[in-house]
Amino acid sequence: MPTEKLNILGKLGCLLSCAGSVVLIIHSPKSESVTTQAELEEKLTNPVFVGYLCIVLLLLLLLIFWIAPAHGPTNIMVYISICSLLGSFTVPSTKGIGLAAQDIFHNSPSSQRALCLCLVLLAVLGCSIIVQFRYINKALECFDSSVFGAIYYVVFTTLVLLASAILFREWSNVGLVDFLGMACGFTTVSVGIVLIQVFKEFNFNLGEMNKSNMKTD
């Protein structure tokens, strides 16, 4: 059963985290228009994106097989990191499935290649969703759903934006205003997560604070 409850600082942290992620989304770089399977394949095989995938896979192996069994039930960030890293695969997978499906039923030499790409991306998407559900259920057994939901939303959104930016090479189009906006949004998110994590053991609420102030007066 969940053992964590949000106090007043935790609720403030949730609010800041959600507000910061909205700022990140607003100022995030706009993706290039990818309309063909060939363009998507070119971006998926880009060395920078392949390097990102290798790093994510190594982190997932480390988290799932070494860190999660030992620290998962006591540290909420372990399960959240697993689910969010897996979630970052959903954007390129769903985009690729949509583009590949357009070419599958065409009588062209590329239809067989499109079918293979679609099946691979469907497998990646399906495995990602199944593993995410498993660790979300584990997290909800150990932690309060409001705490998990707030942090998961923030980390998932941040990693999806990062994966999309790397895949679609969006950072070259970021202006100064958007860069500062993303920096402010990320800082706000970080402060919110710190409030949730650092003060989660403090058992106080707004009513107790008011009583304390009255006694002082």
Give the chain's length: 217
Q: From CA 118, how far away is CA 96, in angstroms rounded?
A: 7
pLDDT given at position 31: 55
Return the pLDDT at 27: 75
> For residue 163, which of 19, 70, 28 has the smallest C-alpha distance?
28
Q: What is the largest CA-CA distance in the chain?
A: 83
Tokens linked to 51: 């390097």
Please report the pLDDT score of residue 110 as a whole number: 67
The one-digit pLDDT tens for each residue of the chain (217 residues) are: 455 556 777 778 778 877 887 887 787 666 555 666 677 777 778 888 889 889 999 999 999 999 999 898 988 889 999 999 998 877 777 777 777 777 776 666 667 777 787 888 888 888 888 999 999 999 988 887 777 877 887 788 788 878 877 877 766 666 778 778 878 888 888 788 777 766 666 665 555 555 555 555 5
Half-sphere exposure of 146 (CA within 13 A, CB side): 14
